[in-house]
Amino acid sequence: MKLRLIASLLTLAWASASLAAESKEDKMQTDQTQARYTRKSITYLGINVAGGLSVDEEHLKVIEEGYRKQLELPRFDYNAVSLAGVYTIDQFVELLREYVKKVSFDRAAAEAEYEARFKSARVYMKDIERIMNSAYFYTLNVKTFKSGPWVCPENQGKGGALLNLFTFQCVPGTPGVMTELDVSATFYRANLTDPNKPPYELIKDVTWIKTMEFTAIVPPAPPAPGAGQALLEAFQRALAEFNASLPQRQHEASLANTMKCAKNQGEILARELKKVPDFQLLTPVTSALSDGVEFMLGTKEGLALDDTYEVGEFDVAGKKTRIGFVKVRKVNDNTGSGEGTPSYAEKVKENRKFVGGELMAEWPMLKLDFGIAAVFEVVFTDLLARVNDSGDKKMGFYPGAEIWAYKDMANIFKLPEFYLGIDADFLLVASEDQYSVYLIHAMVGAEKKWFANSLMFTAKLRAGISYYAVSYESGDSYEGDAVGFGADLGLSVQYYVNPHFQPFLKVTGRFFTNPLDESLFADRPMEIGVMAALGLNMEI
Amino acid sequence: MKTMSLVALVVCGLWTVGCTTVVVQPQPQGPEVLLPGEFIESVDANTVLVKCSGKGPDQMAAINNARKGCLEWFIVNQLSATQEERQAYQTNQQKLFAQLDRYVNLPPPGASDGKGKGVKSQVRLSDTEIKVDIITDVHKQQLQDDLVAMGIMKSKSDMLEAVGMPTILVQPSKANKGLKARQQMESAVTEYLTMNKWEVKDPQGVADLNKMIGALGEATGAEEDEAAKIAMAVGADVYMVFEALQDKGADGGVAYGAMVKAYETTTSRKLGEKQVIGPARASWKAGEDMKAWADALRDATGQVVPQIMGYWKEDAPKGNRFTVVINNTPKGADIKVSNGLKRACAFVKVTLSTAKTLHLNAQCKGDNMEVAGALDEILGGLGGEYEFGAKSGNLLLVNFK
């Protein structure tokens, strides 16, 4: 009886002590309102190829290299472990589990025994410790791979031709090599210590749509009919050389395409990876300044200029409210433990005044702008030199639409919010005569943005060509000069709804030459005017 | 022209009155009301880690409010032992807050890897107010010295003059005696106490310890009988018993639960007790096991010490406590010794009286030699030959032949 009583008392004492311990552990922990990204170590476990798919070693190596370069973000430590041919994931995790168990009884013996066993997979004790402290693994899985000769399709109409031109930069009928690739990256977290749980759990299978790349391999063009014997012989020699080198060129093109596909899809997978809660960068605002915030992330986490962060705060019920967005302007070397200089981000939207301590969460983006706008151009002199009733030259008013795609180049030029890209606009120069004119501008441009709480001001300088597509009612096509040159400068004000949508109003001053055929259009006024645009800029 | 001047004058007057609003800062009425703190752990003998909450319109204001809360909580709950000291603190509150940086660290920016010091939580309470929870260091020694210098608290030396500091003995529990790390554990506790300027008794230095313990018999009635007897033998006023229990999880983690109990030697009265479990550590890393028990033991000791101080400040002015053990007692000695000692001591109680043994507890203003003198006089009147087996700090052992 006495023994029972003592046992009960001991149990009670131990239980109360355990409760106290939990509360202490809890007290020392940070809750989610002040969560912070902790550095993870990741082990790459190799590449798997889907059943029924055949990928040669050379292509597999290129695929692996391309994806790993994109997916192995600076925020992770990578363990130099190669399990291929030595262990499966299950075997490796099982071995680690055994090690953890044994090391707690006899460290020296366990280290001696397992060092030898792990060495076969080039795993060293320092790797083991890192793996055990943050046991994440990932594999690459090739789901689709096709690469071979392909001819840019013909007979798909104008729309199809344009689509091919835009998608693959190929003109119908062009031969070359087409590569299709689809790879996913699967991330696991190992359970090294609890034998009652599965050896690992799936964190996320990061996937995206398949990517395709085309490289043209154009044979030498035959000489014009009636060309001399010398030209014909030269052509035949060139053709023979081309045919002899064709397999090698196709192989090289295939490898290059594969690398491009891997890079492109890998970049998107990396963005998706950054959205996974385990890997998302989180940090509290350390100082709220009048125009921005300071925070403790830096070069070690791979912080980059123009990265976007959501700023949120919590109420007493634990509900998170988004109160704004910031964009990174200065990347410093803060290590997160209070050493080094904090990084700085500018406020781009502030729904409630930042007071410090708010939680910043990474908002992963490819930093690619695109969009569409309705435009209306006014030129001082009508491009077709038409006159009004009194015989004076009249102004021109042309409605149309504009599209663009711009890439953020801040990290290359070390200039925040600096973009380079391409634009195209389509204007209808309506005519009462027997023809219609479609005026198309294709330009390359540079854009700089400035922010002032929810408003963005941009200046965009573009230069390019103008193309006049004249179509007659009779069906005849216009064959004269069609391409002009010029530039314009646009100033816009945008409203920052969120990182993805910004409606805007833009005014552009424009100067382009008029390339219309002198024989048809006696007077060819320059395209000098102003274009107003109302549209939506989207960023992904 | 006159009208224009008049209008200008009126406009100027209105402008001046309208635009020079004088903002009067409300003066705090009495001491600031702050949120309570929580003890986290003793970092070392001079520093403790405390968790506190604070409110304010922005993070910095809320953090400073929390730091004030840490300071107040520590003074009121850990340092001041009497109501007078607490009142003196309230009077000097603003003076102390003006030197906040001397006593309470600004928590490191961010959450510091999730554990330990930093801003642990921040929530919005209303449009104009946020609340933060912080864990930060309080510089205990610095604060204590300043409080003494400002006359808010009595210094240790003042107290020493007035009542004498208790001497302490540190012993492992029965369960921990066989532990490999027993010596290191004992050192961890002793180191904490000596750094806090406590006098720690070492039983190794006492000659004939076992003989003395044997002479004390089995009649102490203490929960930790052996430790109590050693404490009496070495003359410690208080003895502390520690126990560390290891808990190894299936996940390879190791945590220690540490229990520290403090008893008054003469009465075996429990003065304080604390159970703490340190955070789990990775058993696969060398040195982590040792850190786990050291952390838990230091914590528990740090929390028991103020309990001893509280008791000692209150009890010690009444006099020194003694245990009187008389072996082979002559007949009728219990009444005579008890009544005789009452003339020299404020409190005397017979705890055991058998045919051969007499145990008494006494609280007397004099030191051990003075009380031994008084006892000698009483025993001389009993007849029979006797000798003093011990006249240690709080034990008077007499053996009749």
Q: Does domain A282-362 have CATH number 2.40.10?
A: yes
Residue B81 has pLDDT above 80, yes or no: no
Residue B139 has pLDDT above 80, yes or no: yes
Residue in A closest to B277 by C-alpha: A21
More confident residue, B13 or A405: A405
pLDDT for residue B15: 52
Mean pLDDT computed over A1-22 = 47
Rounded to an integer, what distance in angstroms lies between the CA atom of residue A297 and that of residue A360? 10
Half-sphere exposure of B49 (CA within 13 A, CB side): 18
The answer to whether A214 and A171 have CB atoms below 8 angstroms apart is no
- Chain B: give the shortest CA distance to residue A72, in Å: 22
With H, G, I as helix, E, B as strand and everything else as coil, classify residue A372.
strand
> What is the pLDDT confidence band of residue A476, given thresholds at 50, 70 and 90?
low
Listed as own residue / partner, the contacts of B25-34 with beta carbons closer than 8 Å and 24 or more positions apart are B28/B94, B31/B90, B31/B93, B31/B94, B32/B68, B32/B93, B32/B97, B34/B65, B34/B68, B34/B69, B34/B72, B34/B73
Domain A40-215: CATH architecture, name and number where available: 3-Layer(aba) Sandwich (3.40)
Question: Which one of A24, A38, A100 has the shortest CB-CB distance to B40?
Answer: A24
Flag if A28 and B135 touch (Cβ within 8 Å). Answer: yes
- Test mutation, B49, B58, B59, B274, chain A, max A CBs within 10 A: B59
- Chain A: give the shortest CA distance to residue B273, in Å: 12
Residue type, position B382, single letter: L
Domain A368-539: CATH architecture, name and number where available: Beta Barrel (2.40)
The count of residues in chain A is 540
Question: Exposure pattern of B57-96 as b/e (b: 16+ CB <10 Å)?
Answer: ebbbbbbbbbbbbbbbbbbeebbbbeeebbebbeebbeeb
> What is the pLDDT confidence band of residue B224, given thresholds at 50, 70 and 90?
low
pLDDT for residue B1: 45
Residues 5-24 of A with CB under 8 A from B: 13-14, 16-18, 20-22, 24
Rounded to an integer, what distance in angstroms lies between the CA atom of residue A380 and that of residue A394? 8
Dump pLDDT digits (tens) for A383-421.
877 887 887 888 889 999 999 999 999 999 999 999 999
pLDDT for residue A126: 61
pLDDT for residue A151: 87
Flag if B59 and A316 touch (Cβ within 8 Å). Answer: no
Strand A200-206 and strand B238-248: pairing? unpaired
Domain B319-400: CATH architecture, name and number where available: 2-Layer Sandwich (3.30)
Helix-strand-coil percent breakdown of chain B, rounded to 5?
A: 40, 30, 30
- pTM, two decimal places: 0.72
Where does CATH 3.30.70 sit in chain B? 319-400
B260 neighbourhood in chain A, CB within 8 Å? none
Most confident of A320-329, A330-339, B306-315, B320-329: A320-329
Residues 267-306 of A with CB under 8 A from B: 283-288, 296
CATH of region B163-316, choose from 3.40.50.10610, 3.40.50.2300, 2.60.120.1060, 3.40.640.10: 3.40.50.10610
Where does CATH 3.40.50.10610 sit in chain B? 163-316
Nearest to B59 by CA among A36, A346, A321, A354: A354
pLDDT for residue B2: 52
Most confident of A124-138, A482-496, B171-185, B186-200: A482-496
- Chain B: give the shortest CA distance to residue A109, in Å: 12
| Pairs across A and B, CB distance < 8 A | 152
> What is the pLDDT confidence band of residue A473, given thresholds at 50, 70 and 90?
low
Rounded to an integer, what distance in angstroms lies between the CA atom of residue B104 and that of residue B66? 10
Residue A489 has pLDDT above 70, yes or no: yes
Host H or E run for residue B359: strand B357-364
pLDDT for residue B17: 44
Flag if A30 and B109 touch (Cβ within 8 Å). Answer: no
- Where along chain A do its domains lie? 40-215, 282-362, 368-539
